[in-house]
């Protein structure tokens, strides 16, 4: 302990010397602090002041003279209080210059200014006169702290509050986008991220973690970190980082699993922005894992009919009783794969057998029947397809039958929805429609194949008759020409 | 029965003077010589034209000439209409064989120099009939409104647009707008089933009347030989029955082709899709298309395609006017240059068509 104090004294001395030295030579600060104005009080705590930057660094003028008129002389570059875009331009003089930043020993990036003017906040304010957001809007003016300083308004635990000053103000936000929600902050406070953030933990996601800081883009902008196609990568930035997530004791393989899922394939491989991303199930500002009882509601936002049928089925009560997560029990969560026939039934790959192992149980029998039905639909479709292909290879016009057969895909889709009733009778009604389509298409194909052979026979007969006529004519001609 | 037939004949004869027509036919003779075979191609072409008229009328019962319905109506003809597939396949095959037969007929007349005096106008009407068959082919090709036809018409009308002076107007007239659309289909349908058949029939009637009035042309060497050495056969019934025999054989070939290689329909035209790779016109336009491909984009200051079109235009004009610049044949003198020009034209068409086919 004694050693630590000994070490801290010289560091403190080195830190304080320039402060007092500059304080003594900076006439702006000397006078304004003597006046005890608010700005000079705040500036004493400002990181720029600590780095030896005078008031004149931003406001211009001469900081070496005591004479008011000389110090605040426009000819000496005094600009007074910068307004509108001038504010950011004053900051950019140093913060956009690598040389200047290096001269103060700063390693901060120098692209904030560019990022800001190209961001959604860089657009013109409705109040007119400048951009929506200037540097001081978030960082404040005279009491600017390091981002790592817990007192800074842009320190991780303070960011939500800082952003909410505008984003929770319905009157203000309405002037930009009346449809934009203003409850993000309220929702955030209910989220897992928000709750942890409120305890002073800077690691959980806050506004800037997902939206970025200076380079914030509108959500609909494909470059936005929260554009649907980019969102899983943004979330996985933290959630796939084992080291970062270690203290929270939750798995870190969600992204890996999601990328393999039917949803992930649609979003990340096919780039379909309508496919569900992390926020579709977990929420965005109020992100939290769905509770066991609410899973079917969450999935039901897209799979509405499945949810409705499931909720009306006997499984709903049974699952609630046993505490099984609804859709997740059969389909999984992050790694939801395309539901095939295999999922249904009592084979080793089927999910029904997991609960309905007893062969005499009605559940086992229902699963067995439904699987047989859907398999028979596939088989009849396959055999119709073979016949249609044969007819097509024979050069027959069979487009209509091919179109008919496409309707079976719709039937299969309906059947896969209907399976959530777990009622073999209802399921049979749907599959029956497909079997009729298969039967019709098969009949069409058979007719076409028969027609193919009929045409050849017809051709044979016609060619024979025409040849016979031609031969008769030939004989007649020979007879008359002999005369 | 015989009595009723005789009475009916007499009734008509009194009004239409069939007897004199009979006398005309009785007196009509067809020369017999080593090149007599070529006489049959005029008749075969006529047979194909009649088949086209008949099958065309049958197709009209079901075909719908609009961009929304054309493809589907042909699909309906091919799959639902009794023997619709046969009618359409015969129409498609007979169209191709018709053009081939007209090509052969025209070149045989050219090599025999049958266009010489007094048959100059028969030749001119014949060449115009040949152009009309090509026009039939071009307009009919679009009617199924499939992908290939759509883009072939686009390319074809684009080429027409490069014709000097009248190109733009002609392209606009053919397309019925700036691009190939349903409006193009409607007017091509109109051309194919009304305008062209009308013009073709008038030209054909004139052509046949001239052939009947002037009789069959004899090759130069036969014409100059003594009458006693000349052989001939009566037009009726001998030549007519021979024609009929050939028509029956052709009908058999048509039936076999229609059954074994039915006309394809392809995919429906989609103006927003990209053109199929390696798109080519029908075989009878291939030699011109291929030639235009070989001509460099710029020749001195002139546009290559434009030059090609101008050259083909000039060649066509010279072709129409052959009887008027080949004065030697009209005088009964041998003109080998004509044979060389003809051989060059045939070789050019065959080679360029093959090159176009395999490219």
Q: Give Cβ neighbours of residue B315 (< 8 Å, ≥ 6 apart).
A: none
The structure's pTM equals 0.68
- Judge whether B142 lies within some domain: yes
A398 at interface of B, judged by CB pairs closer than 8 A: yes
Strand pairing partners for B232? B31
Distance in angstroms (rounded) separating the CA atoms of residues B333 and B223: 11
Tokens read off for B234: 């009566």
Supply the CATH number for residue B106's domain.
1.20.810.10
- Judge whether A33 lies within some domain: yes
Given a cut of 80, is residue B244 above it in pLDDT?
A: yes
- Judge whether A302 lies within some domain: no
Mean predicted confidence (pLDDT) in A411-439 = 94
**Least confident span in A97-101, A226-230, B53-57, B273-277:** B273-277
Q: Could you give the dihedral angle defined by the CA atoms of residues A250, A261, A421 and A426, in that order, rounded to the nearest 10 degrees?
A: -170
Where a domain ends, among A36, A57, A81? A81
Taking CB atoms and an 8 Å limit, are A477 and B233 in contact across chains?
no
| Nearest chain B Cα distance for residue A465, angstroms | 10
Distance in angstroms (rounded) separating the CA atoms of residues B210 and B124: 11
Tokens read off for B317: 């004009």
- Judge whether A416 lies within some domain: yes
Which chain B positions have a beta carbon within 8 Å of A456's beta carbon? 259
Given a cut of 50, is residue B166 above it in pLDDT?
A: yes
Residue A8 confidence (pLDDT): 52
User: C-alpha angle B228/B233/B236, rounded to 5°?
Assistant: 145
Q: Is the ipTM of this complex over 0.90?
A: no
- Judge whether A461 lies within some domain: yes
- Judge whether B351 lies within some domain: no
Residue A2 banded pLDDT, cuts 50, 70, 90: low
Which chain B positions have a beta carbon within 8 Å of A467's beta carbon? 248, 252
Residue A377 confidence (pLDDT): 95
Residue B200 banded pLDDT, cuts 50, 70, 90: very high
Q: How many domains does chain A have?
A: 2
Residue A134 banded pLDDT, cuts 50, 70, 90: very high
The residue segments making up the domain with residue A54 are: 19-81
Which chain A positions have a beta carbon within 8 Å of B252's beta carbon? 463, 466-467, 470
Q: How many CB atoms lie within 10 A of CB B106?
A: 21
- Judge whether A152 lies within some domain: no
| Nearest chain B Cα distance for residue A481, angstroms | 8
Where a domain ends, among A56, A81, A106? A81
> Residue B200, by phi and psi: left (phi above 0), alpha (psi -120 to 50) or beta?
alpha
- Judge whether A451 lies within some domain: yes
Measured between CB atoms, which of A395, A462, A476 is closest to B255? A462
Q: How many domains does chain B have?
A: 1
- Judge whether B356 lies within some domain: no
Reported as a single tens digit per residue, the pLDDT across A183-241 is 999 999 999 999 999 999 999 999 999 999 999 999 999 999 999 999 999 999 999 99
- Judge whether B3 lies within some domain: no
Taking CB atoms and an 8 Å limit, are A470 and B252 in contact across chains?
yes
The residue segments making up the domain with residue B200 are: 23-266
Supply the CATH number for residue A446's domain.
1.20.140
| Nearest chain A Cα distance for residue B24, angstroms | 20
- Judge whether A434 lies within some domain: yes
Where a domain ends, among A81, A100, A125? A81
Residue A481 confidence (pLDDT): 86
Measured between CB atoms, which of B238, B244, B252 is closest to A467? B252
Strand pairing partners for A236? none
Contact A434, A377 (CB under 8 A): yes
Residue A14 confidence (pLDDT): 44
Tokens read off for A251: 């798995």
**Least confident span in A322-326, A449-453, B209-213, B315-319:** A322-326
Distance in angstroms (rounded) separating the CA atoms of residues A120 and A111: 16
Distance in angstroms (rounded) separating the CA atoms of residues A321 and A402: 47
Mean predicted confidence (pLDDT) in B1-18 = 91
Residue of B297, B294, B308, B301 lying closest to B352 (CA atoms): B294
Distance in angstroms (rounded) separating the CA atoms of residues A295 and A280: 12
Measured between CB atoms, which of A395, A455, A473 is closest to B248? A473
- Judge whether A331 lies within some domain: no
- Judge whether B100 lies within some domain: yes
The proportion of chain A whose per-residue pLDDT surpasses 70, expressed as a percent, equals 95
């Amino acid at each position: 302990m004694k050693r630590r104090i000994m070490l801290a004294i010289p560091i403190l001395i080195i830190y304080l010397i320039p402060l007092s030295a500059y304080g003594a030579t900076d006439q702006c600060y000397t006078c304004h602090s003597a006046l005890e104005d608010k700005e000079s009080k705040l500036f004493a705590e400002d990181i720029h002041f600590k780095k030896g930057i005078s008031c004149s660094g931003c406001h211009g003028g001469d900081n070496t003279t005591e004479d008011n008129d000389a110090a605040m002389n426009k000819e000496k570059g005094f600009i007074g209080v910068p307004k509108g875009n001038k504010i950011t331009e004053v900051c950019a003089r140093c913060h956009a210059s690598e040389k200047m930043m290096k001269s103060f020993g700063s390693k901060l990036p120098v692209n904030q200014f560019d990022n800001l003017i190209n961001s959604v906040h860089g657009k013109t304010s409705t109040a007119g006169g400048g951009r929506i957001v200037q540097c001081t809007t978030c960082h404040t003016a005279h009491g600017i702290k390091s981002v790592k300083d817990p007192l800074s308004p842009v320190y991780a635990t303070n960011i939500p509050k800082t952003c909410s000053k505008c984003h929770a103000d319905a009157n203000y936000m309405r002037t930009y986008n009346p449809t934009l929600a203003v409850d993000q902050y309220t929702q955030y406070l209910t989220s897992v991220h928000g709750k942890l953030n409120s305890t002073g933990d800077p690691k959980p996601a806050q506004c800037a973690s997902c939206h970025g800081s200076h380079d914030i883009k509108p959500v609909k902008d494909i470059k936005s970190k929260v554009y649907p196609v980019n969102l899983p990568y943004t979330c996985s930035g933290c959630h796939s980082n084992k080291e970062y997530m270690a203290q929270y004791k939750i798995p870190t393989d969600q992204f890996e699993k999601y990328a393999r899922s039917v949803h992930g394939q649609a979003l990340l491989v096919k780039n379909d922005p309508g496919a569900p991303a992390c926020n579709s199930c977990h929420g965005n500002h109020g992100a939290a894992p769905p509770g066991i009882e609410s899973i079917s509601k969450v999935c039901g936002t897209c799979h509405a009919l499945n949810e409705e049928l499931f909720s009306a089925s006997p499984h709903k009560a049974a699952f609630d009783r046993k505490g099984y997560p609804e859709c997740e029990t059969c389909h999984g969560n992050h790694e939801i794969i395309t539901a095939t026939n295999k999922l249904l039934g009592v084979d080793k790959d089927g999910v029904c057998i997991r609960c309905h192992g007893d062969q005499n149980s009605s559940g086992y029998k229902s699963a067995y029947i439904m699987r047989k039905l859907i398999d028979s639909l596939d088989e009849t479709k396959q055999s119709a397809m073979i016949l249609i292909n044969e007819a097509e290879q024979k050069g027959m016009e069979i487009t209509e039958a091919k179109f008919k057969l496409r309707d079976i895909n719709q039937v299969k889709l309906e059947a896969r929805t209907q399976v959530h009733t777990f009622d073999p009778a209802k399921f049979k009604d749907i599959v029956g429609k497909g079997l009729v389509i298969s039967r019709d298409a098969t009949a069409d194909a058979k007719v076409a194949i028969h027609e193919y052979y009929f045409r050849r026979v017809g051709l044979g007969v016609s060619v024979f008759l025409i040849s016979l006529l031609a031969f008769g004519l030939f004989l007649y001609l020979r007879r008359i020409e002999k005369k | 029965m015989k009595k009723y037939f005789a009475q009916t004949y007499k009734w008509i004869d009194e009004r239409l003077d069939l007897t004199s027509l009979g006398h005309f036919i009785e007196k009509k003779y067809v020369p017999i010589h080593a090149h007599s075979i070529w006489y049959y191609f005029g008749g075969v072409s006529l047979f194909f034209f009649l088949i086209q008229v008949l099958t065309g009328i049958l197709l009209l019962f079901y075909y719908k000439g609009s961009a929304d319905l054309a493809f589907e109506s042909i699909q309906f003809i091919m799959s639902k209409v009794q023997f619709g597939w046969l009618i359409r396949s015969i129409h498609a095959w007979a169209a191709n064989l018709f053009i081939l037969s007209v090509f052969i007929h025209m070149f045989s007349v050219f090599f025999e120099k049958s266009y010489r005096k007094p048959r100059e106008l028969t030749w001119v009407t014949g060449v115009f009939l040949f152009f009309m068959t090509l026009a039939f082919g071009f307009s009919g090709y679009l009617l199924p409104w499939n992908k290939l036809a759509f883009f072939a018409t686009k390319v074809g009308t684009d080429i027409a647009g490069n014709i000097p002076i009248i190109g733009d107007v002609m392209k606009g007239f053919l397309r019925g707008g700036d691009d190939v659309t349903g409006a193009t289909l409607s007017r091509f349908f109109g051309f194919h089933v009304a305008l062209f058949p009308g013009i073709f029939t008038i030209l054909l009637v004139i052509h046949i009347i001239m052939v009947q009035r002037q009789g069959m042309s004899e090759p130069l060497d036969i014409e100059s030989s003594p009458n006693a050495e000349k052989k001939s056969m009566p037009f009726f019934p001998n030549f007519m029955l021979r024609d009929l025999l050939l028509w029956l054989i052709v009908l058999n070939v048509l039936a076999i082709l229609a059954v074994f290689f039915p006309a394809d329909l392809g995919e429906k035209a989609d103006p927003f899709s990209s053109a199929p790779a390696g798109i080519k016109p029908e075989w009878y336009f291939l030699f011109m298309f291929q030639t235009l491909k070989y001509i460099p984009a710029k020749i001195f200051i002139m546009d290559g395609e434009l030059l090609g079109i101008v050259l083909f235009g000039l060649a066509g004009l010279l072709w129409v006017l052959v009887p008027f610049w080949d004065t030697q044949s009209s005088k009964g003198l041998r003109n080998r240059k004509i044979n060389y020009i003809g051989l060059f034209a045939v070789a050019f068409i065959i080679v360029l068509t093959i090159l176009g086919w395999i490219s």
